[in-house]
């Protein structure tokens, strides 16, 4: 590698070097506006949060909101393929 290439790599931001998002989350298709099917089987959900960002919240407020999100995630159905017993 030449010095010019090394300097160029230092100037490029991380997202310029990032690969395809499909290599991280292999989305097959969207089933609905917030639900997608994965190429390997299973489904994923898109969530969005509105309001203040985490930097504007106190630790107590941030912990409360994280607990609310964790509770909502626990309410989602689990993958039946991994919990079922063979007949």
Residues 21-61 have pLDDT tens digits of 777 888 999 999 999 999 988 898 888 877 767 677 888 88
pTM above 0.85, yes or no: no
CA separation for the pair 35, 32 (Å, rounded): 5
User: pLDDT tens, 57-74?
Assistant: 888 888 998 899 899 888
> Residue 85: pLDDT above 70?
no
Distances (CA, A) of 35 to 41, 64, 76, 78: 13, 26, 12, 15
What pLDDT does 31 receive? 93
């Amino acid at each position: 590698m030449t010095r010019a290439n090394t300097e160029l790599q230092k100037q490029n931001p991380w997202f310029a070097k990032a690969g395809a998002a499909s290599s991280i989350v292999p989305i097959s298709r969207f089933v609905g506006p917030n639900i997608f099917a994965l190429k390997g089987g299973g489904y994923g959900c898109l969530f969005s949060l509105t309001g203040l960002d985490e930097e504007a919240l106190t630790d107590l407020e941030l912990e409360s909101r994280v607990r609310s999100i964790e509770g909502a995630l626990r309410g989602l159905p689990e993958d039946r393929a991994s919990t079922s017993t063979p007949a």
